[in-house]
Amino acid sequence: MNDRIISKYLKTATKSCPSAFRKRLKVDLYNSLCSYAEENPDLTEAELIAAFGEPSAYSDEYVAAFSDDEKLKMIKKNRLVRWLIATLLGIIALTGIVIAAATIYDAFNTEYYYFEDEIKDEGTFPKGEEIVLDNEIWLE
């Protein structure tokens, strides 16, 4: 029962938190909520809100507790990670497009060769003469 209450509170609090702070808030708040739940085994949602406050207010206070330098550092780190992921996905997409284009190009530009052999009848050979075909001797 406590797990459901903790999960609901945690989800609501992290939703209203800026993305750069979510992971850290989730870890810190989860530890605090679990400690509180161990001390109060018959925990209700109302008791949890009374102890920690509304989830959105808690996340606002959590972010406000950081100094401006820490906030800027976390936001820059978050932007860098997003930029790296976007660049990696772009490279993967570009590679896929190039491979697909090369495959399509090869499929439509394949040269096909057709061979036609003509059999010429130049008459028959007299019986008893040797005929040489492909370095093999045949007697007719």
Per-residue pLDDT tens digits of the chain, which is 140 residues long: 578 888 888 888 888 777 778 888 888 889 988 888 888 888 888 888 888 889 888 888 888 887 878 877 777 888 888 899 999 999 999 999 999 999 988 888 777 666 666 666 565 655 555 555 665 655 54
Q: Rounded CA gap, 126 and 96, in Å?
A: 67
Domain of 79? 68-140
Residue with tokens 């509170």: 9
Please give the DSSP secondary-structure letter assigned to residue 135: T
Domains of the chain: total: 2
Same domain, 61 and 93: no
The residue among 65, 82, 103 that closes a domain is 65
Same domain, 84 and 117: yes
Beta bridge partner(s), residue 137: 132
Same domain, 58 and 73: no
Whether this model's pTM surpasses 0.75:
no
The torsion angles phi and psi of 73, rounded to 5 degrees, stand at -65, -45
27: Cβ contacts below 8 Å, ≥ 6 apart: none
